Amino acid sequence: MATKDALIAEEGNNFGGSSSGDIATFDKNAEVVNFELEPKPIGLTKEQLEKYRNDPFWKPVRTVLFALFWLAWALMFAGAIAIVILSPKCAEKQKPDWWQTKVSYQLLTATFYDSDGDGIGDFAGISQKIDFLRKIGVTTVYPSPVIKIQKDEYFNSYDVVDHSAVDDRFGTQEQFQELVDTVHNRAMYLVMDLPVSTVDISHPWFEKREEAKFVIARPTDPGFNESNFYPFHGANNIKYLGYPTSQNPVLNWKNADVKQTINGAIQKFLDLGVDGFHIDHISQLAVDAKGKPNHDEAVKVLEELTKSVQLYVESKEELAQKKIVLFSSLKDVEELHVKATETGLLHYVIDNSFANLDDKKCEPSVAKCVHDALNAAYQRHEVAKYTPHWQFSNSEASRLASRFEPSTAHLLSFLQLTLPGALSVYYGQEYGLKDSLNKNANFKQTGIMQWYPTGKNHHGFTANEVFTDNEIFFPESEDKLEMDNYNSQFDISDSPLKIYRKLAKLRQRDEALIVGETIRDELINDNVILFSRYVQAVNNTATGSAFVVALNFGESIQKIDLALAPASKLIPTNKDLSKAEISVVTANITDYKVREKHDFVASPLVLPPKQAVLLKL
């Protein structure tokens, strides 16, 4: 049987739920429920308010208050508009051009992959290997050479015999077009060499006996003995300027045929889809009577050339939206490049200063050598105001892994991939390829790309098994280890190739590594290079992520207290060192695992010899 209180409660619930406006109360003493159909009004009733409607006192008060309300609203609205208009606008993030942050991969066409089994690499071979490059973060393919050159054993891209034709040893024009299309279909870019100041002595112009008008030449006299001038066909009455050797006569850019030939070649390759051109030896575009560069005149010729490219791109509907890049190298004349970049004639200049370093030049401290080289490069970039483009190895110098012992070479590649701007990797550098066994010491850096372990087909370079027991046209690396190839290292998570891949991918995903400033490196104990990368805001704070790069070039363990100076100067004030995340490490670091958090306030960063770490804050 239900209790009396339960019945009362149920009764109260029934009454209280009859209408949203009803009020039910229970009088315990009288044991009755008082029920009100409508709540008691709060404040004045309608009848009470009615008598104030036309009251002589309240009527004007209401009018004034009403006017003040709308006036205040109008003033606030106007103030909001004024704030929007007059306040300083936030700096719009400038999206970098495609070439400013990309990983460019320079390969020698003849030594990369031989698809048809004739012993020489070709355009089709590059097309077949594109996905291997894409897997490791390459975004720009830079094959060299492309255009027709003198048929000798060196495959020097400056030995031009026809600017407008592709070299038939590498394939047809259609196969080159297929390569360009293959690259673009993977959202990648393709750039190429285009020598504009020199040709080979076997160029058809030299067969016409009219060569003197196409190249820089002058009659000789008893007092003329400039060593950089060479006789035509053995005749000493007139000599031509050769640069850098007698095999490369310097073109005369005052000649209309020369201009028409070069411009026609550029336009042809633009129509084929090429995204940019390496224009080197620009100091030779204008010279004085002794063959010395005339910088001011050379800049004028370069300006004429770049304007011609720009006008052609703008005139073609299919090219109008493309950004064609023109670039050169510091190996020519540095002062001229400063002028060229300041005037916007070149988009960037490859900084190849690190390609000239080696173990001997860097004695007794590689870290100090690297520190000094970075300082010199930073000063060049600050003066010239151009985006740095780093190159640590190329076709004209011994390979990085032969100039330094392998672990140091790996650290230098780690460094290159974390520096600001763009970078150019020379084929094989990603896995530590060494110089070849070429009998000509000047070309030992041009050995074949090694795709697979030692075995048939010369590390997988050629599709022709006939070469198995015979000497191939291009020599292999002097290193016969089973790990000195792409495929073996790709299967190992902490190999140099895989670490290269992690860094190449990361620098294309995180804004701090894409466009972030570099807080200049610190040299610790003459062994450790330390610097940071982040997008700077006010008061040394970072917008988004911040990265700290630490590289130990020494032979012993190094401990770095990141919370104390000088290291602490590299850390943004709004980042917490106690929650640092390990982003990338080299192979022999066992104390730190990727994606782990570490407190570097409580304990120092410990770096084993020849190892590196990338921290994310």
Q: Among 202, 195, 194, 236, which Cα is nearest to 217's?
A: 236
- In Å, how far from its chain's centre is CA 6? 79
> Domain spanning 510-616 has what CATH number?
2.60.40.1180
Output the pLDDT for position 380.
76
Q: Among 262, 112, 102, 100, which Cα is nearest to 194's?
A: 262
349, 386 contact by CB (below 8 A):
yes
pLDDT tier at 335, thresholds 50, 70, 90: low
565 DSSP assignment: T
Output the pLDDT for position 299.
86
pLDDT tier at 515, thresholds 50, 70, 90: confident
At 99-152, the pLDDT tens digits run: 888 899 999 999 999 999 888 999 999 999 999 999 999 999 999 999 999 987
Strands 189-193 and 229-232: unpaired
Give dist(CA 292, CA 317) in Å, integer: 41
Task: Report the residue count for the chain.
Answer: 617
Q: Among 143, 150, 138, which Cα is nearest to 110's?
A: 143
Domain boundaries, the chain: 4-36, 46-86, 198-252, 510-616
Give dist(CA 196, CA 489) in Å, integer: 39
Output the pLDDT for position 2.
46
Q: Does residue 520 register a pLDDT over 50?
A: yes
- Do you find a cis peptide bond into 222, omega within 30 degrees of 0? no
At 32-83, the pLDDT tens digits run: 555 555 555 566 666 666 666 666 666 777 777 777 777 887 888 787 787 7
pLDDT tier at 234, thresholds 50, 70, 90: low
Output the pLDDT for position 280.
86
End-to-end CA distance of the chain: 70
Output the pLDDT for position 480.
63
546, 566 contact by CB (below 8 A):
no
At 142-161, the pLDDT tens digits run: 999 999 999 877 788 989 99
Q: Is 449 helix (H, G, I), strand (E, B) or coil?
A: coil
Give the E-state strand segments of 395-440 in sequence order. 422-426
At 448-481, the pLDDT tens digits run: 999 988 766 788 898 876 554 455 678 887 666 6
| Mean of pLDDT over the chain | 84
Range of lowest pLDDT (22-36, 325-339, 541-555, 566-580): 22-36
Residue with tokens 């993030």: 93
Global confidence as pTM: 0.82
SS (H, E, C) 295-364: HHHHHHHHHHHHHHHHHHHHHCCCCCCCCCEEEEECCCCHHHHHHHHHCCCCCEEEECHHHHCCCCCCCC
What element of type H or E holds 129? helix 123-135
Give dist(CA 377, CA 388) in Å, integer: 8
At 376-390, the pLDDT tens digits run: 888 877 755 567 889
Average pLDDT for 294-308: 90
Output the pLDDT for position 527.
94
Average pLDDT for 536-554: 92
Give dist(CA 191, CA 179) in Å, integer: 12
Q: Does residue 194 register a pLDDT over 50?
A: yes
